[in-house]
Amino acid sequence: MAIRQIRMRDDEVLRKRCKEVTKFDDKLAVLLDDMYETMMKADGVGLAAPQVGILKRVVVIDVGTGRIELVNPEIIETEGEQDGPEGCLSFPGLFGKVKRPNKVKVKAQDRNGRPFMAEGEELLARAFCHECDHLDGHVFTELVTEYVK
Ligand code: NI
Task: Give the DSSP H or E segment for 140.
Answer: none
For residue 30, give every residue at least 6 positions away whose Cβ sits within 8 Å of its Cβ, in sequence order, or none. 1
Is the CB of residue 35 less than 8 Å from the CB of residue 21?
no
Whole-number Å distance, alpha carbon 47 to ligand 1 midpoint, is 6
Helix extents (H) in the chain: 26-41, 123-135
At 149, is the pLDDT very low, low, confident or very high (cuts 50, 70, 90)? confident
For 29-62, write each residue's pLDDT tens digit: 999 999 999 999 999 999 999 999 999 999 999 9
Q: What pTM value is reported for the model?
A: 0.97
- Sign of the CA dihedral running 76, 141, 110, 39: negative
For 64-102, write each residue's pLDDT tens digit: 999 999 999 999 999 999 999 999 999 999 999 999 999
Kindly list the protein residues that place their beta carbon closer than 5 angstroms to ligand 1, a single-atom ion.
88
Whole-number Å distance, alpha carbon 144 to ligand 1 midpoint, is 13
Whole-number Å distance, alpha carbon 140 to ligand 1 midpoint, is 7
At 3, is the pLDDT very low, low, confident or very high (cuts 50, 70, 90)? very high
Per-residue confidence (pLDDT) for residue 1, from 0 to 100: 78
